[in-house]
Structure 1
């Protein structure tokens, strides 16, 4: 079956999928391994735990092998120019000249690597009640405080028996043989007593006879197996003490995410408090005069879609979002909001380009921020940015507490003295473009700060054609039926309809991906 036949078949089953592309990309050379971005050099693995005294510039040197003047003497533009040398889209085809791009733009891979290095050192650790640790990452192993189960227990309703049957059925004392009660008195050979699931097994019991396998006769004093049923073998339906774990045993290593199942395991093993990495505190600033928070759009104004959407995405990436603020197109108000924010990471939407009301760049310059990424060669969402803010966030920082705030100058002094830097992720204002920006920069930054393992894209087969865009990576919402990744309709920068149906974001290199070839996919937050 050809690629176009596959697409036609899939469109019949999934009417919301994207129509066939009009310009098929050139298929990769059959003897050449799959490239992430056509022509991009392979990057070395990003170090996850640089030393506390490593400067960000030094981390970039380690990651990308920059040469020349020392990091301290290089200008930001020179650094960005060095990154450009690593990811020239024209390298994929010498006959295609590199596109004219902003000198600060990085390739998609490089931008994600910079964000990952910014978050390479997790935030401080803290001990929390297990019930309050959901979504955090263990900073110390989860160790059992007891054997599990703590005593021999019955796995079934029935009778605890000693030796082969038939058995003399002992009348239980009040509460004997029930879960949550002390164990019944020890059994004599040939004796049995009724028992419930989860109840302690009496001493000298050799097995549990299931209720459906036993029959009581001789006026209730004798227990026997039903005809055709054999006596239970030694240990049958008894969960022995320590079957799952022993006291002091490591159940999960540091670095494991605290999921609902982990909370259940901790409780079962007698652990009430967990040592976890502090989740980064994030604040969302939604920028723009045109945004409405309720009602039907009209008169030139539109609904704010990102204020409702992004907190869930940021939380899925490991952040604790403590507030969402909406700020109009006012440079002074934006500067004041940036100076007032004391979160580990500030996320903004809109104002990242150079339009008449785009004040984010001037505001960052005014407060003394340092741009690390200024534009990414990705569509949609290329005018995104990542900046290091002046000041530092101490463990437990929270914008909910006015007492925790300091003047910007004081925070800057603490940063110069070795405090932890804070970051700003600037996302475009168009909804899908903002989602792409969050997946590109916010996800690796926040996961790193939260101590989460890096979330790498995974490969699936392209079930349809994915056209490339010269010089840019494309992130495309996709459905993932059994046949592979298929692009969804409604994938324009200002659209969310495709993303709402998406099971992932396909990473399309500049050269595109032909049907049947592997394509990389990023997960999208779904809860």
Structure 2
């Protein structure tokens, strides 16, 4: 049996993914959330793209006091932010936050810092001097409360690099730049099969039964990584069922939970042999999750077999699918960050690497990893409160030891 290290398993899958680079497509801006950007984006215009006011108040020209000029009366529905009145020295005009700066204006006086008065038939604006005690002329300095075009970004500046997973914050920024659609990678497709005759999908399990720990959340986790789940099925444990599903399911990646071990009722390996599959790896030297496997069917579809125990299956999912997808999307395999254990972790009876659920606390002194309890392969309570999986040697580790960890983004 081809038994590889956890690091090698991820490297092998990343390399396999790199052989199947995703195509690209353009999608509407709202549909791009969660997708991977296929090309670098450059700003098509300066940001802001015009000189504007940062406050409600008055656009000013020269020193005050200022004669107040009013623009033409606005009509219902009119965009008043575009209305301007050219100013000469000693003149002012009302302006709103974001309003176009009038020609000749060199500062903005905030509404709450101004006093309006009348000099005969003229409306006059004065700056309230106590707000400008540090100014030599007791009034706004040139440039005060003006947003200058291009002060955030120059036209042509790179906004996002290719390979970034687009989130809601990205989309908001790109909308302000005028993007209506984005170039993204097509999503690799994943078909899911849940196995195990002992699994029930609702209610309280009885003796000899186990509640389904995968189907409510696995599709969400997989799609959060950037793939698209195209089908899910629950397979009864029999060779014909496994054979038919593996042979006839159309997807880039076929993922099974359970059935990947070597007992008499685990059919995945035997069926893969019947179908002429080629193993990328047959098991991994980690705990929990060593029965995980990866294989290629003759037509190029990738099979990922996850262990049946809940924590082991989750460890395998977070370990291997992102590695494949990074290769497909042309991204490097992410480097693992490090942190310091806050408590000792005892050794284990095997010689395999261990992945232990931990919580993360970031302080000025560094990243602190607190090991969780109840972390055997069939347990999920410790995993449920974890932020990451810490990589620990089989002999365990003392408190204050530095170790790498794999983040759990969802």
TM-score norm. by structure 2 comes to 0.91
Distance in 2 (CA, whole Å) between partners of 1:435 and 1:272 is: 37
Question: Deviations along 1:452-475, whole A, 9 cap, x unmatched?
Answer: 443322111111112343420000
Distance in 1 (CA, whole Å) between partners of 2:399 and 2:354 is: 16
* 1:146 and 1:269 in contact (8 A); partners too: yes
User: Is 2:386 the partner of 1:502?
Assistant: yes
The alpha-carbon distance between structure 1 residues 196 and 169, as it changes in their structure 2 partners (threshold 3 A), is same
Match of residue 98, structure 2, among 163, 182, 198: 198
Distance in 2 (CA, whole Å) between partners of 1:180 and 1:265 is: 24
User: Is 2:279 the partner of 1:380?
Assistant: no
* 2:128 corresponds to: 226
The alpha-carbon distance between structure 1 residues 488 and 184, as it changes in their structure 2 partners (threshold 3 A), is same
Give 1:384 shift.
0.4
Distance in 2 (CA, whole Å) between partners of 1:501 and 1:453 is: 29
What does 1:96-245 correspond to in 2, within 5 Å?
103-121=1-19, 122-175=21-74, 181-218=81-118, 221-228=123-130, 229=132, 230-245=138-153
* 1:480 corresponds to: 360
* 1:287 and 1:328 in contact (8 A); partners too: yes
Other structure's SS at 1:308 match: coil
Distance in 2 (CA, whole Å) between partners of 1:341 and 1:423 is: 11
User: Is 2:303 the partner of 1:424?
Assistant: yes
Distance in 2 (CA, whole Å) between partners of 1:144 and 1:226 is: 40
User: Is 2:215 the partner of 1:307?
Assistant: yes
* 2:69 and 2:85 in contact (8 A); partners too: no
The answer to which of 373-382 and 272-281 deviates more is 272-281
Give 1:447 shift.
2.6
Distance in 1 (CA, whole Å) between partners of 2:79 and 2:301 is: 52
* 2:396 corresponds to: 512
The alpha-carbon distance between structure 1 residues 192 and 453, as it changes in their structure 2 partners (threshold 3 A), is farther
Give 1:299 shift.
5.3
* 1:435 corresponds to: 314
How many residues align? The count is 394
Other structure's SS at 1:168 match: strand
Alignment RMSD, CA only? 2.0
* 1:152 and 1:200 in contact (8 A); partners too: yes
Distance in 2 (CA, whole Å) between partners of 1:511 and 1:367 is: 40
* 1:277 and 1:451 in contact (8 A); partners too: no
Question: Deviations along 1:153-194, whole A, 9 cap, x unmatched?
Answer: 111111111111111112332239x96642312112111111
The answer to which of 493-502 and 277-286 deviates more is 277-286
Distance in 2 (CA, whole Å) between partners of 1:301 and 1:467 is: 31
The alpha-carbon distance between structure 1 residues 452 and 259, as it changes in their structure 2 partners (threshold 3 A), is farther
* 1:179 and 1:196 in contact (8 A); partners too: no
Other structure's SS at 1:221 match: strand
Distance in 1 (CA, whole Å) between partners of 2:74 and 2:398 is: 69
User: Is 2:328 the partner of 1:465?
Assistant: no
Distance in 1 (CA, whole Å) between partners of 2:250 and 2:143 is: 60
* 2:71 and 2:85 in contact (8 A); partners too: no
User: Is 2:354 the partner of 1:456?
Assistant: no
Structure 1 runs not aligned, ≥5 long = 1-102, 392-420
User: Is 2:365 the partner of 1:492?
Assistant: no
* 2:81 and 2:98 in contact (8 A); partners too: no
User: Is 2:238 the partner of 1:340?
Assistant: no
User: Is 2:187 the partner of 1:288?
Assistant: no
Question: Deviations along 1:203-233, whole A, 9 cap, x unmatched?
Answer: 1111111112111122781111113223211
What does 1:1-40 correspond to in 2, within 5 Å?
none
The alpha-carbon distance between structure 1 residues 112 and 468, as it changes in their structure 2 partners (threshold 3 A), is farther
* 2:311 and 2:378 in contact (8 A); partners too: yes
The alpha-carbon distance between structure 1 residues 515 and 359, as it changes in their structure 2 partners (threshold 3 A), is same
Other structure's SS at 1:114 match: helix
Other structure's SS at 2:383 match: helix
The alpha-carbon distance between structure 1 residues 525 and 311, as it changes in their structure 2 partners (threshold 3 A), is farther
Match of residue 175, structure 2, among 250, 260, 267: 267
The alpha-carbon distance between structure 1 residues 299 and 509, as it changes in their structure 2 partners (threshold 3 A), is closer
* 1:462 and 1:518 in contact (8 A); partners too: yes
User: Is 2:402 the partner of 1:521?
Assistant: no
